[in-house]
Chain A
Amino acid sequence: MSELNLEIDGRAVAVPPGATVMDAAVKLGIYVPHFCYHRKLSIAANCRMCLVEVERAPKPLPACATPATDGMKVRTNSAGAKSAQQGVMEFLLINHPLDCPICDQGGECQLQDLAVGYGKSASRFEEDKRVVPAKDIGPLVAAEEMSRCIQCTRCVRFGQEIAGVMELGMIHRGEHAEIVAFVGRTVDSELSGNMIDLCPVGALTSKPFRFAARTWELARRKSISPHCGLGSNLVVQVKQNRVKRVLPLENEAVNECWLSDKDRYSYEALESGERLTRPMLKDHGQWREVDWPQALERVAAELTKAAGSVGILATPHSTLEELYLAGRLAQALGGSADFRLRQSDFSGDAKRGGIPWLGMPVANLDGLDRVLVVGSFLRKDHPLLAQRLRQAAKRGCRVNVLHSVDDDWLMPIANRKIVPPSELLEALRGVNGTPIGESLRSGRNVAVLLGNFAQQHPQAAQLQAAAQALGYPIGFLGEAANSVGGYLAGLPVGGNAASALGHKALVLLNAEPELDCADPQTAGQALERAQFVVALGAFRPARDGADVLLPIAPFAETAGTFVSTEGRIQSFHPAVRPAGDARPAWKVLRVLGNLAGVAGFDYETLEQVREACLRGKDLAALLSNRIDLAASPAAPAPQGLQRIAEVPIHFADALVRRAPSLQKTRDAQPPRAWMNARLMQQLGVSAGQPVLIRQGSGEARLAAALDDRLPEGCVRVPAAHASTAGLGAMFGTLGVQAVAVGKAA
């Protein structure tokens, strides 16, 4: 159909059929005041602020909801439109408290801004103002001053439409209408913080940020999220060298205008009491603070001594530059370096066609019409990629799942197959002919996406090959900020994450092995066995396995580059100075290289390191999900109960583990041992009862919990948590035993 030609404020504009007057105004750059309208949400037309005059219409019409028609003539600032807008503004203000001076939204409040343009200087309303009681809806979103609410319902629609779960609603009616969570409930969505951004007034504000600063006092610095592989764009807001708040930087191609709560609130860890702020040496079992030269010389000496057997374990949350220098250091000193700490199968390393990646731009997820997600805790591992698929599903994309758990992704699932971890590969190989296979076959824009669980699986390479064999484009949902960047930095070097543990000297970069490695027991043993361990980290490690601790600057305190799962290279500058004596890790690694006499290690700036890393590399050409691997025969069924281990969203990396508000959320509740009813009966345990989990040489005591959607013979026991850090590999078998109540384990 042809475009519609209309005129707004005397200016001609053409819009496609279906567009609204608001769309047309936006296209012209004409601002129509509004509160309830948001381009990412359904149209409510309830605030009435965007009333405009339309020729031949008997009354003013809301620009947000009025379809543009051919030949339409619209006036957004005529006397009639202005009078309607001013009338609405007066109504919005009569019951709105005059508490701007103590309101966190002050200075960035849509109501405040528009009141300047459309409000009067004095009120004609002389009755008592409405008072709406405060609500406690959880640790992240403050709903303390609900009298400020203007009932635009953006937060409600966000829950229904974007987060996929309606946790807030507007109860009662008329003047008594108020936004609430269900009686006694909190808002638990992993995307909840976005409601704060959406709230046009100070009704929903950030709880951790409450009363911390005025918006105009804050310096705004761009940054990139260090957590999942999406690489969300951030605005880090700073006052007096302290990060006060993190907001999304709108980037339609990446995070749109959203952030996951993890991205938004992890900054709180920067001020954690566990920050490591001075280099420390262990002398005769006693820690003491030392100055940097002393610490660096000791480390350099030990590494030189261990030359030929230096293992470097870096988390994929490290920057590209850090990983590049780590790789070069391992190369020069002799040894190995890797960033894939939770991976357990490296048999694909020599068989891969390139760097595993999403296989498409993130934004292309929107256009998929069939997708199979294999082995992914999608909602918690990749909250915003899940959000993209949720929107795609709304548009008709059929989402299929092959996994070992059946969590609620808050989107329609076309078909699901839930199998024990040991059967994941066979299930994937056998997809054709099943309902999932049929679903994929009927699509025109199909993708098979491999999640964290599939990548951490002991048959990860075979899973990749099996996915490839289905004949559809495949993609990896990158676990961490630099899951692609690690490869681009030249890692792995001289082996892999498992073999690196075998070296005499170990260098830990951002890593807490008992929480970040595929097998905490093996990692722990390696640390004990090693002659020398140096840990470069922003926090004091929970487990005392190192000989030297070097304080490095984490996210927001350092500069660097992350290469996202779609292969987007995003560099960022520090937002604040490092805490205490912490130093950017790239500088620490460079000095170590210098002291150890590594040639060509004389980088003066971060840009030089980046340049050296990227020189001559064409990332697009390096990205490939192809694998040339012969199908292995089916593995024999394991004897015993299989462990299903996820990495809980707020325990995935050192930073988020120490973010206090996130640690108060429902998602951060201590892990439990989930099993289905049949297994519970077999074991003679009931939900809530403590059980003793034994795996390898370690054990953990957890509360049993019921999840009847789990496959037979499986126990879901999360990893990356202190309570399960004594256990073995994320994949494997374990023993479960009821603990008699009252008896010590």
Chain B
Amino acid sequence: MLSPESLRRIDREIAKYPAEHKQSAVMAALIVAQDEKGWLATETMDFVAQYLGMAPVAVYEVASFYNMYNLEPAGQYKLTVCTCLPCGLQGSLDAADHLKARLGVDFGETTADGRFTLKEGECMGACAMAPVVLVNNKKMHDYMSNAKLDALLDELRKR
């Protein structure tokens, strides 16, 4: 179900918590699983539930509560743009508009070529560096002018 490398990473997370509280590692385990699979399919959640000795629906609760998990397949690159007030004041909504126009998709949609999913994010704790774009949850790009956004899209397309 998950690769040995993923399981090793999950085991490392489990080791952080008291032995009787393996469930504490569920968030990390789902992150690892999502890194490998791209999204959290039913079977993936079921596997994580078994691995951690949890009820599957309890895993589902966690996966659906935290909004960085993908409960359906996403594009190769998920771009998340913060639309909160401070970022908005600093141009992140313009940046979002620019991305929408460039990609031809709205928030929550994926480009036809399956390369990009555009997502509306909430505060990323990087307000002063707005506009901020998060790529696949893990890589943050800040001070994103339209020119920098174009460069980012070009770079990701080339990869």
Touch test A–B (CB under 8 Å): yes
Chain A positions within 8 Å of B, measured between CB atoms, are 165-173, 180-185
- Considering the complex, give the chain B residue whose CB is closest to the CB of A179: B57
Contact A166 B60 (CB under 8 A): no
- 11 A-B pairs besides A173-B65, A182-B60 with CB distance below 8 A are A165-B55, A167-B55, A169-B58, A169-B60, A169-B61, A171-B60, A171-B64, A180-B57, A181-B57, A183-B45, A183-B60
Contact B55 A171 (CB under 8 A): no
Q: Is B137 an interface residue (CB 8 A)?
A: no
**Set of chain A residues within 8 Å of B58, measured between Cβ atoms:** 166, 169
Most chain B C-beta atoms within 10 Å of own C-beta, residue among A167, A180, A182: A182
- Considering the complex, give the chain A residue whose CB is closest to the CB of B64: A171
- Considering the complex, give the chain A residue whose CB is closest to the CB of B63: A171
Most chain A C-beta atoms within 10 Å of own C-beta, residue among B42, B45, B60: B60
A-B CB contact pairs (8 Å), 28 listed: A165-B55, A166-B55, A166-B57, A166-B58, A167-B55, A168-B57, A169-B55, A169-B57, A169-B58, A169-B61, A170-B61, A171-B60, A171-B61, A172-B64, A172-B65, A173-B64, A173-B65, A180-B57, A181-B57, A182-B42, A182-B45, A182-B55, A182-B57, A182-B60, A183-B42, A183-B45, A184-B42, A185-B56
> Shortest beta-carbon distance, B48 to chain A, in Å?
12
> Shortest beta-carbon distance, B77 to chain A, in Å?
25
> Shortest beta-carbon distance, A189 to chain B, in Å?
12
Q: Measured between alpha carbons, how far is A173 from B45 in the docked complex, in Å? A: 18
Q: Which of chain B's residues 32-89 have a Cβ closer than 8 Å to chain A?
A: 42, 45-46, 55-58, 60-61, 64-65
Q: Measured between alpha carbons, how far is A64 from B45 in the docked complex, in Å? A: 34
Contact A185 B65 (CB under 8 A): no
**Set of chain B residues within 8 Å of A166, measured between Cβ atoms:** 55, 57-58
Across the A-B interface, give the 10 residue pairs with the lowest CB-CB distance, nearest first.
A169-B57, A166-B55, A182-B56, A171-B64, A182-B57, A183-B42, A169-B61, A172-B64, A173-B65, A171-B61
**Set of chain A residues within 8 Å of B64, measured between Cβ atoms:** 171-173
> Shortest beta-carbon distance, B123 to chain A, in Å?
15
Contact B57 A167 (CB under 8 A): yes
> Shortest beta-carbon distance, A44 to chain B, in Å?
14
**Set of chain A residues within 8 Å of B55, measured between Cβ atoms:** 165-167, 169, 182
- Determine chain A's interface SS by DSSP, over half rule: loop
**Set of chain A residues within 8 Å of B45, measured between Cβ atoms:** 182-183
Q: Measured between alpha carbons, how far is A185 from B60 in the docked complex, in Å? A: 12
Q: Measured between alpha carbons, how far is A106 from B42 in the docked complex, in Å? A: 36
Q: Measured between alpha carbons, how far is A517 from B65 in the docked complex, in Å? A: 52
> Shortest beta-carbon distance, B138 to chain A, in Å?
22
**Set of chain A residues within 8 Å of B60, measured between Cβ atoms:** 169, 171, 180, 182-183
**Set of chain B residues within 8 Å of A173, measured between Cβ atoms:** 64-65
Number of interface residues of B (CB under 8 A): 11
- Considering the complex, give the chain A residue whose CB is closest to the CB of B42: A183
**Set of chain B residues within 8 Å of A183, measured between Cβ atoms:** 42, 45, 60
Chain B positions within 8 Å of A, measured between CB atoms, are 42, 45-46, 55-58, 60-61, 64-65
- Considering the complex, give the chain A residue whose CB is closest to the CB of B43: A183
Contacts A165-B55, A166-B58, A183-B60: A171 and B65 contacting too (C-beta < 8 A)? yes
- Considering the complex, give the chain A residue whose CB is closest to the CB of B61: A169
**Set of chain B residues within 8 Å of A169, measured between Cβ atoms:** 55, 57-58, 60-61
Q: Measured between alpha carbons, how far is A166 from B60 in the docked complex, in Å? A: 12
Q: Measured between alpha carbons, how far is A170 from B60 in the docked complex, in Å? A: 9
Most chain A C-beta atoms within 10 Å of own C-beta, residue among B46, B57, B60: B57
Q: Measured between alpha carbons, how far is A167 from B57 in the docked complex, in Å? A: 6
**Set of chain B residues within 8 Å of A184, measured between Cβ atoms:** 42
> Shortest beta-carbon distance, A149 to chain B, in Å?
15
Q: Measured between alpha carbons, how far is A181 from B56 in the docked complex, in Å? A: 9
**Set of chain A residues within 8 Å of B65, measured between Cβ atoms:** 171-173
**Set of chain B residues within 8 Å of A165, measured between Cβ atoms:** 55
Q: Measured between alpha carbons, how far is A183 from B46 in the docked complex, in Å? A: 9
- Considering the complex, give the chain A residue whose CB is closest to the CB of B67: A173
**Set of chain B residues within 8 Å of A167, measured between Cβ atoms:** 55, 57
> Shortest beta-carbon distance, A76 to chain B, in Å?
33
**Set of chain B residues within 8 Å of A181, measured between Cβ atoms:** 57
- Considering the complex, give the chain B residue whose CB is closest to the CB of A171: B64
> Shortest beta-carbon distance, A701 to chain B, in Å?
31
Q: Measured between alpha carbons, how far is A182 from B57 in the docked complex, in Å? A: 5
Q: Measured between alpha carbons, how far is A168 from B55 in the docked complex, in Å? A: 9
- Considering the complex, give the chain A residue whose CB is closest to the CB of B49: A182
- Considering the complex, give the chain B residue whose CB is closest to the CB of A167: B57
**Set of chain B residues within 8 Å of A171, measured between Cβ atoms:** 57, 60-61, 64-65
Q: Measured between alpha carbons, how far is A184 from B46 in the docked complex, in Å? A: 11
**Set of chain B residues within 8 Å of A185, measured between Cβ atoms:** 56-57
**Set of chain A residues within 8 Å of B61, measured between Cβ atoms:** 169-171
**Set of chain A residues within 8 Å of B42, measured between Cβ atoms:** 182-184
> Shortest beta-carbon distance, A317 to chain B, in Å?
35
Q: Measured between alpha carbons, how far is A180 from B58 in the docked complex, in Å? A: 10
- Considering the complex, give the chain B residue whose CB is closest to the CB of A165: B55
**Set of chain A residues within 8 Å of B46, measured between Cβ atoms:** 182
- Considering the complex, give the chain B residue whose CB is closest to the CB of A166: B55
Q: Measured between alpha carbons, how far is A243 from B30 in the docked complex, in Å? A: 49
Q: Measured between alpha carbons, how far is A614 from B41 in the docked complex, in Å? A: 63
**Set of chain B residues within 8 Å of A170, measured between Cβ atoms:** 61
Q: Measured between alpha carbons, how far is A169 from B64 in the docked complex, in Å? A: 11
> Shortest beta-carbon distance, A491 to chain B, in Å?
45
> Shortest beta-carbon distance, A659 to chain B, in Å?
27
Q: Measured between alpha carbons, how far is A551 from B60 in the docked complex, in Å? A: 51
Q: Measured between alpha carbons, how far is A171 from B67 in the docked complex, in Å? A: 12
> Shortest beta-carbon distance, A169 to chain B, in Å?
4
Q: Measured between alpha carbons, how far is A165 from B57 in the docked complex, in Å? A: 10
> Shortest beta-carbon distance, A288 to chain B, in Å?
55
Q: Measured between alpha carbons, how far is A172 from B61 in the docked complex, in Å? A: 7
Q: Measured between alpha carbons, how far is A167 from B58 in the docked complex, in Å? A: 9
Most chain A C-beta atoms within 10 Å of own C-beta, residue among B46, B56, B58: B56
Q: Measured between alpha carbons, how far is A166 from B45 in the docked complex, in Å? A: 15
Q: Measured between alpha carbons, how far is A14 from B117 in the docked complex, in Å? A: 61
- Considering the complex, give the chain B residue whose CB is closest to the CB of A160: B55
> Shortest beta-carbon distance, B108 to chain A, in Å?
13
> Shortest beta-carbon distance, B146 to chain A, in Å?
32
- Considering the complex, give the chain A residue whose CB is closest to the CB of B55: A166
> Shortest beta-carbon distance, B66 to chain A, in Å?
9
> Shortest beta-carbon distance, A410 to chain B, in Å?
11
> Shortest beta-carbon distance, B24 to chain A, in Å?
17
Q: Measured between alpha carbons, how far is A637 from B42 in the docked complex, in Å? A: 47
Q: Measured between alpha carbons, how far is A180 from B56 in the docked complex, in Å? A: 11
Q: Measured between alpha carbons, how far is A167 from B60 in the docked complex, in Å? A: 11
Q: Measured between alpha carbons, how far is A181 from B60 in the docked complex, in Å? A: 9
**Set of chain A residues within 8 Å of B56, measured between Cβ atoms:** 182, 185
Q: Measured between alpha carbons, how far is A125 from B124 in the docked complex, in Å? A: 32
- Considering the complex, give the chain B residue whose CB is closest to the CB of A184: B42
Q: Measured between alpha carbons, how far is A165 from B46 in the docked complex, in Å? A: 15
